[in-house]
Structures are given as C-alpha cells and as structure tokens.
Amino acid sequence: MSATSDGSRVSATADASCVSVEDRGFTLGDGVFDTALALGGVVFARAGHVERLLAACAAIGIVLERQRVEAALDAALTPAPAILRTTVTRGTAARGLWPASVGQPTLVVTTAPWSPALLGQPARLVTAAGRRNEFSPTANLKTLGYLDAILAARQAAEAGADDALILNTRGRVACTTIANVFAVTGDRLATPPLTEGCLPGILRGLVCETAPALGLVVEERPLAEVELAGADAVFLTNSVRFLRPATALDGQPLGTDWWAIDALMAELGRRVIAECGVALSGPPAG
C-alpha cells in the first residue's frame, strides 16, 4: 500500500506506480472499473459490486478470478470511511486493437476518504449536449472510456450546475454523468430500463428492491425529459452519494415533494447499519 499526492491510499497486486506505459488501460482505455463505499471496514453491498465488476470483465473478454478481486478489496480496507475504486485493465500487450495474446489483467484498488457531507446534497442539472448511445455494447458497462461523461460534467460546471442529464439517441433520459435517475409521481417511481443506455447502478438496484416494502411502485420504462419537469420529485442514485434530490433542470425548478426520497434513504440507512455496523452519518451502531 502506498500514498498518492492527495492522501489517498493505493492497494494493488503490484505497486500501482509500476503499471506499464504499455498497459491497454492507459493506451486504449481497455478495461472497466467499479466504485463502492466502505464503512467500518466493510464494503456496503459488496457482493453486488464484485459480481457487476466480474460481469463487466466477462462482457469484454477479460478473464479475472473473483479471488483476486476479493483479496485486493480486503487489502485496501481500513476502519475509516472510504471510497473504493477497483480498476481492471486487459494488461499489457503488443500493438493492435485485438492482440494475439496478453498478460495477466491489471487490478488496482484505490481508496479516498468519504464524508457523510456527500449525502443528500441537492443537484442542479443541465441537459448535456452529447447523447448516450444505448445501442453500444458498452452502454451498460463502467468502462474506462469516460470522455463523454467528462465533457458533460465540464458543460455542467461551466453552466454553474452540479451534474448533467444525459439523453440517449432517441432523446429520452438515460442517466447523469455519475448517477441513475428516478422520477417520483405519487406512489410511483419511474426509472429508465437498461435498454435506454443507463448503467446497472448498485444503488439503483437497491432502490428498486426496497421501494415496494414502502408502498412505492417501481416502473422501469422509457422516461421522456419532459416528465421530469412534471414529477413530484426527481432524484439521483449512486454508491457514494446514495440518494440526491435534483432541484432544477436547465434553470427550471423541479418538484420538491421529497417524502419518498426521505423514506428510501431511511431504509437504506438501516441496511447500511445491518451490513456495516455503522450509521451513514453517525458512530458505530449499538
């Protein structure tokens, strides 16, 4: 384990400073990643994160043993709250888009401090100029090629917003640069299905799983951008910020009836305590 310039810690199968300049993750963005939250030395929803990462590796033809991932995560964990990023690349190979052979996949886990101040921060959105290609074979994968999202994030920052809403090629809601999107109308939660080009977010899945017990009906369906303006509330989900209410889109206010957000957040908080023994914004439980 070594320190980085921002104080983050690095854990990997080898010192991350020794990753080759010929690594395909560096030269071609040939790899995938995952971001998870660890509290009390426990990765929240760990099985889901590991399984999604391994599925993404398999989808692009990287052979990676689950034991390697589990060991790398264990080596990175500390009692302090942390954001864990697991990066996997195809490794080093000769030049060419599809090499005849490659070495072992590169696996690196980096950690950064996490603060409960990240929870529940309202987000002002702008609609990104670019579009997400829902027909791409990588549309549902967290690949290393994140330039579309980076440019959308720059657009949001230049507009004084917090995040950018990304539409797909049909002009329907796909996601934001870092989150899945839900619209609340009455007791119904609408969120785009994976066929619309969004990622299978871990928190997205937990919200869909948790909502029925709270009397909420989940609808995975195509979502028009105009529906966000008419919803009672709109919220974003990801593994670091959990549920984040969206307060405006392109300068127009969005609904503020946040009771469903509060109810879901409370239930997810109970799940965190059950798994990690630590409250999202407090001392260890019990």
| pLDDT tens per residue, range 205-216 | 999 999 999 999
Whether 174 has a pLDDT exceeding 90, the answer reads yes
Phi then psi for 246, rounded to 5 degrees? -95, 125
- On the 0-12 / 13-18 / 19+ scale of CB atoms within 10 A, 51 is middle
Confirm if 30 and 61 have CB atoms less than 8 A apart: no
**Which residue is associated with the tokens 């264990």?**
74
Whether 16 has a pLDDT exceeding 90, the answer reads no
- Could you give the C-alpha distances from 233 to 36, 68, 181, in angstroms and in order? 26, 41, 11
Confirm if 86 and 37 have CB atoms less than 8 A apart: no
Domains of the chain: 2-114 (3.30.470.10), 123-275 (3.20.10.10)
Whether 69 has a pLDDT exceeding 60, the answer reads yes
107-162 per-position pLDDT tens digit: 999 999 999 999 989 999 999 999 999 999 999 999 999 999 999 999 999 999 99
- CA dist 240 and 35 (Å) reads 8
State the pTM of this model.
0.92
Query: Of 87, 50, 88, 91, whose CA–CA distance to 70 is shortest?
Result: 50
Whether 8 has a pLDDT exceeding 80, the answer reads no
- Could you give the C-alpha distances from 185 to 23, 192, 201, 218, 233, in angstroms and in order? 47, 15, 21, 11, 7
- CA dist 161 and 238 (Å) reads 18
Task: Specify the range with the lowest mean pLDDT, choosing from 6-20, 168-182, 196-210.
Answer: 6-20
Confirm if 118 and 241 have CB atoms less than 8 A apart: yes
- On the 0-12 / 13-18 / 19+ scale of CB atoms within 10 A, 13 is middle
> 64 Cβ partners below 8 Å, 6+ apart?
54, 57, 88, 105, 107
